[in-house]
Amino acid sequence: MKLTPGQIVAKQEELKSARGIWETHWQELADYMVPRKNSFTRKNVPGEKKGVELYDNTSMVSLEALVAALHGLLTNPNTLWFMLQTGDPTLDDNDDIAEYLQDLSRRMHRVLNNSNFQPEVYEYYVDLASVGTATMVVEEDKDSIVTFSTKHLGEIYPEENSKGIIDVAYRVFTWTPKQIVQKFAEGVDAKEEALAVAVGKEVAKCYIDGKNEKFEIVHAIYRDNDTKIVKMPFISQYVLKKDKHELQEGRFRRFPYLISRWSKTSGEIYGRSPGMTALPEQKTLNVMAKTMLKGAQKVVDPPVQIPDDGFVRPLRTFPGGVNYYRAGSSDRIETIFNDSRIDFGFEAIRERQQRVREAFFVDKLNLAQNDRMTTVEVNQRIQEQLRFLGPLLGRQHTEFLRPLIDRLLDIMIDADKNGDLIGQPPQELEDIELDVAYSSPIARAQRVGEAESLQQVLGAIAPVIQLDPPALDNIDSDAWVRENFKIFGATQKVLRNKDDVETVRESRQQAQAEALKQQKESQEAENLKNVSPALPTQGE
């Protein structure tokens, strides 16, 4: 059922009042870790200095390291990090279907790389690792097919359904009259009366008068409870908050907002993050670093004590300064606190810096350095590190990557007018809901164990095969090869389909049979030649 503009504004205000304590927490996280985004409880002035009260940037650097790792390990632009499949083993083993789905996956990957996805997903990971909840909007675009926009968490007010999945979002943002007219009154006569119908009286008047006043807009996305609406179940409404004027209404097949949490506590909607784990240590570090700077300054330029009547001029501490004291005075200039242990303070700081890095998994992301490590040992350690991160990022597969791929495929299907975008699918895929298998480095690392188990089995049965070669008949070598292609995400283009394999084998068998036949005939001819001289001639 569609909501009225008044109901939408009231619901957004209700959600806002319920999350006040979260905003205070997010503000503190942003102050210490992402100062450029610290606008949760206060409004920022464009161009103002950020982070001027920070004396240690360990959390900022560690956050950037984790974000870069997420970007490279989950959504690397240079590798195909997902693979479409049907979920039906019979269909997935069909070579034509497997090749088409891999080709479609590559087409989708190219569309992502040709859009603004890469810069926006970086900002998405920044929000995810710092404040624990990230939001991205996926929309159609005439030029690049699809466009992405990561939204500041301060603008977003989500709700979960009974399954714990976010399928409702209210976004609040401010636009100028010019922006509102361009978005919601395209083609409308530029007269105040006509514009007032489209964008409201106040916005229309400000636009005509050329004023730059900003207006709050609420964008509501929610599921329609009408069970008859199955193809476009999500309602989209833009409402001018001040006068509760509806600017635009639309529908979506899938929820266009991608909202995921790093981790989540039962009963909470918003996520928890590595930044929250690191915050206590970072706050302590900031105080310690400030104190240590003062201590270091005192060591380099220490305070001094002098007798009150021993010198005839003010003390000169600059290089080359000459100080005069009265003859006969036994007092001299002495420093205060000349036995300070500033090194102890730096050791304490380094210890807490390491804890902050561990909170952001930097110790897991950096490979231990050892110049005597073999290639095999390096690969094993990398796989171990990736497998460690796998469970931590499992939620992203469900809340971010899967909805992203589904939404992208829908947009490409709608935009495909002549088959250039998605190609010609096999008839077997008609009315089939596609599934997704992830082939990012982390996903592959989790599946490498399957390949290792296969290798271990072969190593274990090798002695048996040497004693009894027919025992190898228990292993389907074709299935072994194809399974390894799936595990490592290798391209289907270098893998022959089953019909071609049978053709190659039949040709090989025919060639071998022909060679044996020729060899036999040649041997028979040679034998006949050798026997002929020994036969008696006629008349003997």
Condensed to tens digits (0 to 9), the pLDDT of residues 419-432 reads: 788 888 888 888 88
- The arithmetic mean of pLDDT across residues 219-225, rounded, is 91
pLDDT in tens, 451-463: 667 777 777 888 8
pLDDT in tens, 278-332: 999 999 999 999 888 887 777 777 777 666 666 566 777 776 666 666 666 656 6
Measured distance CA(98)–CA(93) in Å, rounded: 7
Measured distance CA(119)–CA(124) in Å, rounded: 9
Task: Examine the pLDDT at 256 and tell me if it is beyond 90.
Answer: yes
pLDDT in tens, 52-92: 789 999 999 999 999 998 898 889 898 888 889 998 888 88
> Which of 144-153, 327-336, 467-476 is least confident?
327-336
Q: Which band of pLDDT confidence, cut at 50, 70 and 90, is reported for residue 36?
A: very high
E runs forming strands in 2-51: none
Pick 262 or 313 by higher pLDDT: 262
Q: Give the CA angle between residues 333, 337, 342 to the nearest 5°.
A: 135
How far CA 65 is from CA of 72, 129, 162, 420, in Å, comes to 11, 11, 36, 38
Residue pair 49/75 in contact by the 8 Å Cβ criterion: no
Which residue type is seen at 399?
E
Measured distance CA(356)–CA(362) in Å, rounded: 9
Pick 484 or 394 by higher pLDDT: 394
Looking at every residue in the chain, the average pLDDT score rounds to: 84
The structure tokens listed for 5 are 């503009």
DSSP state of 86: -
Q: Which band of pLDDT confidence, cut at 50, 70 and 90, is reported for residue 488?
A: low
Pick 29 or 445 by higher pLDDT: 29
Return all residues near 306 (Cβ < 8 A) that are at least 6 apart.
315, 331, 333, 334
Task: Examine the pLDDT at 499 and tell me if it is beyond 90.
Answer: no
- The confidence score (pLDDT) of residue 444 equals 64
- The arithmetic mean of pLDDT across residues 164-169, rounded, is 94
Q: Which band of pLDDT confidence, cut at 50, 70 and 90, is reported for residue 11?
A: very high
Q: Is 260 helix (H, G, I), strand (E, B) or coil?
A: strand
Measured distance CA(180)–CA(196) in Å, rounded: 12
Pick 504 or 248 by higher pLDDT: 248
Q: Which band of pLDDT confidence, cut at 50, 70 and 90, is reported for residue 519?
A: confident
Q: What is the pTM assigned to this prediction?
A: 0.80
- The confidence score (pLDDT) of residue 375 equals 58
Return all residues near 346 (Cβ < 8 A) that are at least 6 apart.
292
> Which residue intervals of 115-230 are DSSP H helices?
117-130, 177-184, 192-199, 201-209
For a pLDDT cut of 70, what percent of the chain falls above it? 83
pLDDT in tens, 243-252: 899 999 999 9
Return all residues near 489 (Cβ < 8 A) that are at least 6 apart.
80, 83, 439, 444
Q: Which band of pLDDT confidence, cut at 50, 70 and 90, is reported for residue 359?
A: very high
Collect contacts of 22-29 with beta carbons under 8 A, ≥24 apart: 22/270, 23/154, 25/276, 26/131, 26/153, 26/154, 28/279, 29/130, 29/131, 29/273, 29/275, 29/276, 29/279
For a pLDDT cut of 90, what percent of the chain falls above it? 40
